[in-house]
Amino acid sequence: MADATTIDVAHAEETRREAKGKAPLLATPVVVAATTKAMEHEKGGYKRGIAIFDFVLRLGAIAAALAATATMGTTDQTLPFFTQFFQFQASYDDMPAFQFFVIGMAIASGYLVLSLPFSIVGIVRPHAVAPRLLLIVLDTVMLALTTACASSAAAIVYLAHSGNQSANWLAICQQFTDFCQQTSGAVVASFIAVLIFLFLVVLSAIALRKH
């Protein structure tokens, strides 16, 4: 236990102890006040760490969502052979599920960019509850939207790869190889965005709980 004769010494001691994650019990009122402040600062630091991690994760999610949108949105393949009446061509807007995918992932990308300022508010003011509550609610909604886009596109991509015997739906990936590769890549990118959203909601819940 530190002998608090001067406040400076006590403060240095306390700063060292704070770094080890425990605050000392000192009786002098001034030092007690300083300790309380230090503990609050420590808590703020832990919440600030979560807020910084939240910001970095959002940047990753923006990259994943934009990659998914761009990859799916530019999917267009025309086969080199054609008949008199028909040219074989596959594009993302032939499939409603892929259209939904592009629209949904574009909305998610836009939301993520707009959420960055609120994430920065969380870094500057780690104890503010309102922006964090707003973010967790909207993140949850966006988690549902992104998951819906990703899994409906995944169902169609799976069907394109392997077809279905009972319904007599043939696999089209033997012909449209590039089309299938691009859509599969977009689905993988969107599932990365889903995982990041999941992690963001859990992080916000941990930061939101009271001590």
Provide, rounded to whole angstroms, the least separation between the CB of residue 197 and a second copy: 8
* Interaction of residue 77 with a second copy, rule CB under 8 A: no
Q: Which of 55, 151, 185, 192 binds a second copy (CB under 8 A)?
A: 151
Which residues are bridge partners to 89 per DSSP? Answer: 78
Candidates 39-47, 48-56, 66-74, 141-149; binding stretch for a second copy (CB under 8 A)? 141-149
Q: Which element (helix H / strand E) includes 6?
A: none
Taking CB under 8 A as the binding criterion, the range among 38-46, 71-79, 92-100, 109-117 that sits at the site for a second copy is 92-100
| Shortest distance (Å) from residue 171 CB to a second copy | 9
**Minimal distance, residue 209 CB to a second copy, in Å:** 5
Distance from the Cα of residue 13 to its chain's centroid? 40
8 Å CB contact between 11 and 2: no
Ramachandran area for residue 163 (φ above 0: left; ψ -120 to 50: alpha; else beta)? left
Give Cα 41 distance to the centre of its chain.
27
What whole-number distance in Å separates Cα of residue 70 and Cα of residue 165?
32
Among 52, 172, 188, 192, binds a second copy (CB under 8 A): 172
What b/e string do you get for 166-188 counting C-beta neighbours within 10 Å, with b at 16 or more?
eeeeeebbeebeebbebbbbbbb
Total residues found in the chain within this entry: 211
The answer to the question of residue 108 lying near a second copy (CB under 8 A) is no
Residue 154 found at the interface with a second copy (CB under 8 A)? yes
CB 16 within 8 A of CB 22: no
Residue of 30, 33, 116, 205 that binds a second copy (CB under 8 A): 205
Candidate list 74, 78, 87, 164; residue touching a second copy; CB under 8 A: 164
**Cα 201 to Cα 207: distance, rounded to the nearest angstrom:** 10
Count of residues that interact with a second copy, criterion CB under 8 A:
46
Among 5, 83, 84, 166, binds a second copy (CB under 8 A): 166
CA atoms of 51 and 121, how far apart (whole Å): 9
Binding part of the chain for a second copy, among 26-34, 49-57, 182-190, 193-201 by CB under 8 A, reads 193-201
Residues at the contact surface with a second copy, assessed by CB under 8 A = 89-90, 94-97, 129, 132-133, 136-137, 140-141, 143-144, 147-156, 158-160, 164-170, 172, 194, 198, 201-202, 204-206, 208-210
